[in-house]
Amino acid sequence: MDPNKKKISMAVIKRLPRYYRYLYDLLNMGITRISSKELSERMNITASQIRQDLNCFGGFGQQGYGYNVESLFREIGNILGVNETFNAVIIGAGNMGQALANYGNFEKRGFKIIGVFDVNPNIIGNKINNLTVMHMDKLDEFITNNKVDIGILTVPYDQTPVVAERLAKLGVKGLWNFSPMDLELNHDVVIENVHLSDSLMVLGYKLKEMRNKENKK
């Protein structure tokens, strides 16, 4: 299926990794086919939403049969580009940067960390998951000599736009930003801002609502 044939909403694209995760689990459980109803019960979304999402790409199911799990898993992987390889560098080798560098699942999804950079002399030269932390002074040379698709930013707030601008000028086309800033650049660059505290605050709200209900009993 060719997702480029028509404009797909970002809301649908953002749901695809979740489908991919659930299908991966189904494969590991030995389940070879599943209906939209069964998948909806597992994912806690409606069957009609699943059908609408997948129909954006031409549809994958057969009436009366459902979805072939392996085929759907493979097709969604193709749409998401997991069969391609995207090289990434991490800027900022603090706690967050080290955690990301050590996360083994990225490479399974097509994302390979090939460099880690920092300015802290106490960190430079350390090994993180077989990668030696390099000084930021070497960033330009490294990107010139290596194909880098993504810059992962785990730097202080005030350094985020400076580092992002530098990466964009070096030709890096994707930025995964973990700073508190909603990063925007005047470059042809794709940016994904990740705010972990937002998710935590949503969890806090849900806990507060649960406590309020319990207190009313």
- What is the H or E stretch that residue 215 is in? helix 196-216
Domains, the chain, with CATH or none: 3-79 (1.10.10.10), 86-197 (3.40.50.720)
Q: DSSP labels for 122-157?
A: TTTT-EETTEEEEEGGGHHHHHHHS---EEEE---G
How distant, in Å, are the alpha carbons of 76, 103, 114, 141 from that of 81?
Answer: 8, 19, 19, 28
How distant, in Å, are the alpha carbons of 8, 133, 167, 217 from that of 136?
Answer: 38, 9, 11, 57
Using an 8 Å Cβ cutoff, are 85 and 110 in contact? yes
Share of the chain above pLDDT 90, in %: 67
For 83-124, the pLDDT digits (tens) are 889 999 999 999 999 999 999 889 888 899 999 999 999 999
Query: Which is it for strands 190-193 and 174-177: parallel, antiparallel or unpaired?
Result: parallel
Q: Cα separation of 150 and 136, whole Å?
A: 16
Q: Cα separation of 101 and 128, whole Å?
A: 7
Give which of 76, 148, 85 is closest to 111, Cα–Cα. Answer: 85
> How far, rounded to the nearest angstrom, does the alpha carbon of residue 23 sit from its chain's CA centroid?
17
pLDDT at res. 1: 45
pLDDT at res. 168: 96
pLDDT at res. 62: 65
| Long-range residue pairs from 172-179, CB within 8 A, at least 24 positions apart, any chain | 172/89, 172/143, 172/148, 173/149, 174/86, 174/149, 174/150, 175/150, 175/151, 176/88, 176/150, 176/151, 176/152, 177/153, 178/96, 178/100, 178/152, 178/153, 178/154, 179/153, 179/154, 179/155
Q: Cα separation of 133 and 130, whole Å?
A: 10
Amino acid at 75: E
pLDDT < 50 regions, the chain: 1-4
